[in-house]
Amino acid sequence: MRLVGNLATQFAPPFSLVLHYFLGGFIFNLISMASLYFYAGSFEPPFISFSYAFLAHTFLIGSVMTIIFGALYQLIPVALEVPVFSFFLGYVQFYAHLIGLLIFLFSLFSRNLYVMLVGAVILLISFLIFSFNFFMSIRGLKSFNTTAKFLFFATVSLIIGVFIGVFMVFNFVFGFYSGSIENLVYAHIIFTLFGFVFMVIMGVSMVLLPMFSLSHKFRDIYINLSFFVMMISVFGGGFVSFFFGSSPVYYSVFLMIISALFLYLLQVYEIYTKRARRLKDTGIDTMFMSHFFILIFIISVILTPFSEKFVFISGFSLIFGFINLLIYGSMYKILPFLTWFHRFSNLVGKKKVPMLNDMLPERLPSYQIVLSSAGVILLLIYLLVPVNFLFYISVIFLVVGSSMYLYINIYVLRFRLEE
Amino acid sequence: MTNKDEIKVEGATVPVYTYEKDGITYYEFDTSELGPPEPMVNALSVLNLIDSSNKRAVMINHKKPMGLFDKISDRFDYKVEELNGKYRIEFWLKESK
């Protein structure tokens, strides 16, 4: 038996802290989709370029990581049952993150390496603030559950990946490194995208998917296996790529990563089949369905030796397909809940309070998900069959989808009870 | 075997049962099949009934309701027990333990 009570510390973060991150993430999501327009007729090798780096960082740091940080400030107490060390540091991190990112993106756009150095260092500081806050938050944790293990090593991986990124930028300016830049880029991608973003998603999914789908008593063998394969892939594969990278090495590391992702998919399927309630729900349905894009990623990674087209297909299916749709779906569950908690939880027992679905506009979230999914699928087809018409339609779908997403989330935030 | 009677509680969306044990009246409800925010809605509705030291609320839920603890910990103490993969949370008024 465990006695809990007399909470001396506030667990839930201030609503405004999470909103800072979420609103920033929504706006960068729209900017990323709109900036796709300027890539018409491109997506040709080599994929290592400032031009693609601009798109990748706008989306991954601007939209994905901004939302991840906001979500983590909310989820650390829920998932790990420990209070966040400092919400004040959360605000400081947000402004450092935003300023660093804007400077960094401007430098990629203008190709100004000195400005890039400033942006990269400020971003590094913001990531270190998060890491310090995270490690201080979990310092009293007695046992590490699956989510805690994923988040711990994800944060370690973030630090390594970001230092590699900053090392790269210092080298662009001062030119002291004689090794392969490709090795640095691959190691940077492995540690930040797979080590941080993906391991956070895997760990947090083990809380959010069962919580929102009411799935209990599922076996967790696949996620535990996936964790070990992911650890070897990221920490083993990342350092091997850094020091001894070559095409066969990168390919082998990616084969290991897709093995880990396949095990993760099996775990998600296990949770899906153990749902207690099987009602239609746009948010949770989208969260589950987004995982189909991981299958496309797995197949396209296997096919990369046959054509460089598959490098782009794998990248877009994973980032704009899986990660983007997963976040869209999650937000239709998380934001209504946070708004409800902030605005309506005090009215329980005094007034009739809305349920989460009441706070979303009718049908619009489903239309948005269909439009954005169609946009990604058209983009993937365009990468196989480069017909510009397909590209422009896909960009229109993605931009309109992202605008609808912004509108729906603002609708949720402004939701009030009728007097 | 304790006799449990179902009662109507304003705002609750699940059946609430009441029974007596060792001179204490318990109000028990199960939200383990409900998604957020319904566990909290039900808990806050039932906690409105706990107005003396001889009344307690018992919640069965699929996870520890950390957000709820934040909200009620100034008025209530509670203990959590794991129960076949679910959680049994017992609440009572502070200073009435």
**What is this model's ipTM?**
0.74
Residue ranges of A 68-107 with Cβ closer than 8 A to chain B: 77-78, 81
**Nearest beta carbon to residue B73 from set A5, A277, A333:** A5
By C-alpha distance, which of B70, B50, B52, B61 is closest to A4? B70
pTM for this model (two decimals): 0.90
The structure tokens 């954005």 sit at A372
* HSE-CB of B32 using CA atoms within 13 angstroms: 19
Extended beta strands in A200-293, E state: none
* Rounded-to-integer distance, Cα A153 and Cα A282, Å: 31
CATH architecture of B5-93: 2-Layer Sandwich (3.30)
3 state SS of A37: helix
Q: Identify any residues that bridge with B76 across adjacent strands, giving them in sequence order.
A: B93
Q: Domain map of chain B by residue range?
A: 5-93
* Each residue's pLDDT expressed in tens, for chain A with a length of 419 residues: 344 444 434 677 899 999 999 999 999 999 999 999 988 877 777 778 888 999 999 999 999 999 999 999 999 988 888 889 999 999 999 999 999 999 999 999 999 999 999 999 999 999 999 999 999 999 988 889 999 999 999 999 999 999 999 999 999 999 999 899 999 999 999 999 999 999 999 999 999 999 888 887 889 999 999 999 999 999 999 999 999 989 999 999 999 999 999 999 999 999 999 887 677 889 999 999 999 999 999 999 999 999 888 999 999 999 999 999 999 999 999 999 999 988 988 888 778 888 888 899 999 999 999 999 999 999 999 999 989 999 999 999 999 999 999 999 999 999 987 75
Q: Does A7 touch chain B (CB under 8 A)?
A: yes
Q: What is the pLDDT of residue B1?
A: 59
The chain B residue lying nearest A77, using CA atoms, is B66
Q: Which among B11, B64, B67 has CB closest to A341?
A: B67
B67 at A interface, C-beta within 8 A: yes
Chain B residue numbers with beta carbons less than 8 Å from the beta carbon of A3 are: 79-80
Q: What is the pLDDT of residue A15?
A: 92
H or E element at residue B2: none
Instruction: List all residues 6 or more positions away from A292 whose beta carbon is below 8 Å from its beta carbon.
Output: none
